[in-house]
Chains A and B, each alone.
Chain A
């Protein structure tokens, strides 16, 4: 569903949200300055660059990768990330034989501390309905054709555990350092709808 499909016209939504905010502020239920900090945090500070740093570290540091796959919450916290909607993390590793894909068929569960807030397509009816029943077709739409002998594992994260995909390190990336690797790691590769490619 495109994001500009609305039941209520957007101009009305602007006014109605403003009215609700001022009521909640006047009643002392919310602090408007806290709202500004929340928005700034998820627009500018918490996002997929966090996850990219986790993945890059795992690619260059075998001991870190081992810790990440064993206790993801603790290993992610080593890099300073964690908290809301990432309290209990699991990392699943893509290999030439296994491809992992994450969805939430019931709502929009997503690992905020490492990926930020989910994109519209992740929360949309087409992705949520199809990822579990037709993952290979969904992946093909994202431009990822998997051979029949690759095992596809779909993680439907409907409970309180949040999943991050550890994508495969691309061939030819041996010369890149950790920082350069982090720069090529995409959000989509950490959801599992893409592979990491070198530019």
Chain B
């Protein structure tokens, strides 16, 4: 979706505010929000693409105003309801519905280190013939899906060169909406700064984006 989260190239966001010796979390509630989100994801309750999509559903003004973990907290509530883990009534009362079944946590303490170390790669070991090869010139498609996508607006319609083929990964545009993995090649594509931003940019500079095959067409 053409949302506020797609910020690359926007003006007016102000200077970068740098905090020296910044702590990992600024408040205990941030740490708990982070851990709750990660516990549900590692425990299999959270699909990362759908979770990113859930953040993108925030109204733009809220997205800009809220702190990072505040957005995570709102997402956590919305997502828990969306995937049926918690009902809206339970969220309201703060108590499990009388007589409701008690689940078994997908992640318990002694599983944490193993789950973090193992990770959850979006790579899929399936053999699919790549449509593009390194060195080939491509164009990012001019597409404007209303749903989740990882093709930033600033690259759409722009031409670049394939630098490498990263292999086959699940496709966020479908997975975020529970429409399947649609595995396909992801390529590192180099876009000259002048192609993206105009002729007054330094001719040496470039932006590299990792793009799924469905985002690309031959140039």
Q: Which residues of A contact B (CB under 8 A)?
A: 1-8, 10, 13-14, 16-24, 26-31, 33-39, 41-43, 46-47, 82-88, 90, 103, 105-108, 116-117, 119-121, 123-133, 135-136, 138, 141-142, 148-161
Interface 1/0 per residue, B78-109 and A, CB below 8 Å: 00100001100011001110001011111111
- The reply to whether A108 and B29 form a contact with Cβ atoms under 8 Å apart is no
Measured in the bound complex, the distance between the Cα atoms of B18 and A123 in whole Å is 11
- The reply to whether B119 and A23 form a contact with Cβ atoms under 8 Å apart is no
Q: Which B residues are in CB contact (< 8 Å) with A153?
A: 205-208
For chain B, give the interface size range: 35 or more
Indicate whether A121 sits within 8 Å of B17 (C-beta atoms), given known contacts A19-B94, A20-B76: yes
- The reply to whether B210 and A159 form a contact with Cβ atoms under 8 Å apart is yes
- The reply to whether B121 and A87 form a contact with Cβ atoms under 8 Å apart is yes
Q: Which A residues are in CB contact (< 8 Å) with B126?
A: none
- The reply to whether B122 and A87 form a contact with Cβ atoms under 8 Å apart is yes
Measured in the bound complex, the distance between the Cα atoms of B190 and A153 in whole Å is 9
Q: Which 7 A-B pairs have the closest CB atoms?
A: A105-B8, A159-B210, A87-B121, A33-B109, A28-B103, A83-B119, A35-B35
Q: Tell me how far the C-beta of B53 lies from the nearest C-beta in chain A, rounded to whole angstroms.
A: 11
- The reply to whether B109 and A37 form a contact with Cβ atoms under 8 Å apart is yes
The one of B16, B77, B109 in contact with A31, judged by C-beta atoms closer than 8 angstroms, is B109
24 pairs, A vs B, C-beta closer than 8 Å: A6-B66, A7-B62, A7-B66, A14-B28, A28-B104, A29-B86, A30-B36, A33-B108, A33-B109, A34-B105, A37-B109, A38-B112, A39-B32, A88-B121, A124-B13, A126-B16, A126-B17, A132-B8, A132-B196, A153-B206, A158-B150, A159-B211, A160-B186, A160-B210
Q: Which residues of B contact A (CB under 8 A)?
A: 5-11, 13-19, 22, 24-29, 31-36, 38-40, 42-43, 45, 52, 55, 62, 64-68, 70, 73, 76-77, 80, 85-86, 90-91, 94-96, 100, 102-109, 111-113, 115-123, 150, 152, 154, 166, 169, 186, 188, 193, 196-197, 202, 204-212
- The reply to whether A119 and B19 form a contact with Cβ atoms under 8 Å apart is yes
The one of B34, B85, B207 in contact with A29, judged by C-beta atoms closer than 8 angstroms, is B85
